[in-house]
Amino acid sequence: MATTTPTDPTPAVPPTTPIIDIHEVSRAYGGEGPPALDGVSLRVRAGEAVSVIGPSGSGKSTLLNLIAGLDRPTSGGVTVDGVRVDTLSEAGSARYRRAKVGMVFQFFNLLDDLTVADNVLLPAQLAGMAKAEARRRAASLLEYLGIDRHSAAYPGRLSGGERQRVAVARALMNRPPLLLADEPTGALDTASGEDVRELLTELNADGQTIVLVTHDLGLAESCAQRTVELVDGRIVRDVVRAAAPRATAVRR
């Protein structure tokens, strides 16, 4: 059982300065409907774990996409770790995601024709990391997450929880200062969901900044010190709890 994390989060900004600075961001998708996001402003400090909750269509995933540089706001600005994300080119966005962001999805988004190890190695290879270093890093992550015995397997042979651990390993491969998780337990059974919850808590306890989008209020409360609620594209609640929960260890 691993007791220390190999994630080595090394935020580029002091813990008290915001790693995410969202300023008056709106995102409209055309047509006459209401915007997905409407004048949202949000600051997240390094090392913080923030859960974003809200009903379907409230703008949670849009917010996450804007932070990840997958989408661009109609107005306003998004700055992550000192990078003005909303002004980046396509190639710039790609380089930004390699360096600054790791993402975990509800349906894992693993590449089914790559082995677990190859999936995890991929971000490092795209970023041009030295092969030996990438292999060491991947092996370390897989061991840390308790899935090293599956490294040669294909994702289709793993359980949902195991797949999500692979996705987390892949997301952490390039030591991103920010981990974005979009409904990470949404496709998992209760036991696997609990497993992932503990994993995220542990990561945050080790200093990893996490933004978590979820419908699951329990997950939101157990993983994050802060909860932001979106309704119709606006922040209606932003609650910070006094102390963050701590996990005792990473489960296999």
Partner 1 sequence: MSALGRVVRAGVGRRRVQTVVMVLTTLMAVTASVLAAGLLVAARAPFDRAFAARHGAHLTGRFDAAKVTAAQLTATADAPGVTASAGPFLTLSVRPRTASRSDFVPAGVDLPPLTVVGRSEPGGPVDEIDLVEGVWPTEPGQIVLADGAAPLQPGTRFTLPDAPGSPTLTVVGIARSVTGTADAWVTPAQAEALAEALTEPTTDETSSTAPSYTSSSSPAPSYTYSMSYRFRQAATDAHITLDRAAIAAAVPRGALTGARSYLTVKQEETANAMAFVPFLAAFGVLGLCLSVLVIGIVVGGAVGSATRRIGILKSLGFTPAQVVRAYVGQALVPAAVGCVLGVVLGNVLAVPVLAEVGEAFGASAGALPVWVSAAVPLAALALVAAAALVPALRAGRLRTVEAIAVGSVPRTAAGPGTGRGRPVRRALRRLPLPRVVALGLAHPLARPARAATLAGAVGFGAVSVTFAVGLALTLGAVQEGRMLDAAAPVVVETGGGQGPPGAEVVPAEGPDGGGGDRAKADPEAVSALLRAREGTGRFYGTTQAQVAASGITGTTTVVAYEGDSAWGAPELVSGDWLDGRPGEAVVTSRFLKAAGIRVGETVTLTEEGRRATVRIVGEAFFTEGQGMLLLTSTATLTELGLGADARPARFHVQTEPGTDPARYLDSVNREFDAAGLGAFARTGTDGSSSVIVAMDALIGMLTLMLVVVAGLGVLNTVVLDTRDRVHDLGVFKTLGMTPRQTVTMVLTSVAGIGLLAGLAAVPAGIALHRAVTPLMGDAIGMTLPATDLAVHDGPVLALLALGGLVIAVAGALLPAGWAARTGTATALRTE
Residues within the interface to partner 1 (CB under 8 A) = 65, 68, 70-71, 90-91, 94-95, 97-99, 103, 105, 107, 109-113, 115, 118, 122-123, 125-127, 154-156, 163, 170, 174, 187
Residue number with CB closer to partner 1 (145 or 247): 145
Q: Are 188 and 210 in contact (CB under 8 A)?
A: no
Strand partners, 228: 52, 238
Find the shortest distance in angstroms from Cβ 247 to partner 1.
Answer: 26
User: Given strand 37-45, what is the order of strands in its sheet?
Assistant: 37-45, 18-27, 75-80, 83-84
CB of 4 to partner 1, least distance (A): 26
- Shortest separation between residue 14's beta carbon and partner 1, angstroms: 26
**CB-wise, 2 or 70, nearer to partner 1?**
70
Here the tokens at position 69 are 């540089």
C-beta closer to partner 1: residue 83 or 247: 83
Q: Which residue's CB is nearer to partner 1, number 33 or number 156?
A: 156
- Residue 2 burial (C-beta neighbours within 10 Å; 0-12, 13-18, 19+): middle
237, 240, 233, 247: which is closest to 38 by C-alpha?
233
Report the nearest approach of partner 1 to the CB of residue 147 (Å): 16
